[in-house]
Structure 1
Amino acid sequence: MDNLTLKDAYEMVLDAIDKGEYKPGDRLVEAELAERFGVSRTPIREAFQKLETQGILARDGRSLIVASLDHDQIGELYVLRAELEALAARLAAQHAAPEEIKVLFEMVEQDRKLIGQPDKLSRANKRFHRQLHLASHNRYLIQQLELVHRSMALMSFTTFSAEGRSPAGLDEHQSIVEAIAARNGEAADAAVRAHISAAYETRLKQNALRG
């Protein structure tokens, strides 16, 4: 892997953050990641620079750490996410193939088996939303949603860890897919907004409890 490109290194570091292997506040050391991935330090250094520019990493003195989001940033992110995902749902109601809708239904049913396992359900949730984005068939919207969900990785815990959130969240997913299957763009839009509002409310409550 000595010929690892900047794009490869960037994706590997980002994936590790997304999976929670590095959490907000964790320090990233160039030499350690180069050894972990079995590559030279140059592509890791370049990946760090790109991630810092994007706000995924932040400076703490001379060190780079995984950035964290403050109260206002979290609110701004949820507002943007609600608008973009509502648009994706409306477009999916128009353009999703029957096979895509079937896959979304199947994902919801499979994910119900993960209730009580918040970390696994969190990863499954990301897969569901990614599939929803793809069903919009708008590449530029999908790109913007990828940026939003990349920033969502900077939240240090999943809302699925809150009591009762897992079954409620999956019921909300079911409502979104049912609206898309009915080709009802307005209902799909409303279902997504309700889903994201509930997730945001849960996160605010969790943050308040954690002080």
Structure 2
Amino acid sequence: MPPLDVDEARKLYPLVGELEALALRWTAPQDLIGLVDRLEKQIDEMRAVVERGEELAALDDRWHALLLSACANRHLMRLIDQTKPLLKRYDVLYFGGPDRARRSIDEHRRILAAIREGDLTEAARWLVQNWVNGAAYLGQDTRRPSR
């Protein structure tokens, strides 16, 4: 396995964010509303996992997959599915402690709140921000408070 390349990851994280945001915007609002309760339940589960000190990456992946599950553009979804595995090995750098995980969960709540309000532009903005913040965390010392 090649060594971790933080510069590569910092380019891929925002790319995935933009692709996911595009998928979100291309999903029918009524289909997204139909996912709200399940997305909320997964956020609650994510918070419980973080409070127990357990790993969040798999639940985060499931949340994002559910969020995008109603996107009917199979070509876009294939691009996302091909790109996201390139980031898996960076999860250990991204989820570097409970503070970062809690911030990520809060961002997920903001995405969900915007969907509830029918504001897909705001939801997409927070989705991209979630990924951009992830890229910013890469390579930072998890013992120091991040910005």
Under TM normalisation by the shorter chain, which class is it?
0.7 to 0.9
Task: Determine if the alignment matches structure 1 residue 114 to structure 2 residue 46.
Answer: no
Kept in 2: contact 1:86–1:190 (CA 8 A): yes
1:158-193 Cα deviation digits (max 9, x unpaired): 522335111111110011112122221210111112
Instruction: Select which of 113, 129, 134 maps to 1:194.
Output: 129
User: Which structure has the greater CA radius of gyration?
Assistant: 1
Counterpart Cα distance in 1 of 2:115 and 2:72 = 13
Task: Determine if the alignment matches structure 1 residue 175 to structure 2 residue 133.
Answer: no
Task: Determine if the alignment matches structure 1 residue 148 to structure 2 residue 83.
Answer: yes
User: Where does structure 1 differ by over 4 angstroms across 4 or more consecutive aligned residues?
Assistant: none
Task: Determine if the alignment matches structure 1 residue 98 to structure 2 residue 55.
Answer: no
SS at 1:145 equivalent:
helix
Counterpart Cα distance in 2 of 1:109 and 1:163 = 15
Identity of aligned residues (%): 23
Counterpart Cα distance in 1 of 2:137 and 2:23 = 23
Kept in 2: contact 1:88–1:132 (CA 8 A): no
1:23-64 Cα deviation digits (max 9, x unpaired): xxxxxxxxxxxxxxxxxxxxxxxxxxxxxxxxxxxxxxxxxx
Q: How many pairs align?
A: 142
Report deviation, 1:150.
Answer: 0.8
Any unmatched runs of 5+ in structure 1?
1-65
Counterpart Cα distance in 2 of 1:87 and 1:149 = 15
Counterpart Cα distance in 2 of 1:129 and 1:102 = 14
* Larger RCO: 1 or 2 (CA < 8 Å, sep 6+): 2
TM-score, normalised by the number of residues in structure 2 = 0.82
SS at 2:118 equivalent:
coil
Where do 1:1-211 residues align within 5 Å? 66-92=1-27, 94=29, 96-116=31-51, 117-119=53-55, 121-155=56-90, 157-206=92-141
Counterpart Cα distance in 1 of 2:112 and 2:91 = 28
TM-score, normalised by the number of residues in structure 1 = 0.60
Amino acid at match of 1:83: E
Larger strand proportion of the pair: 1
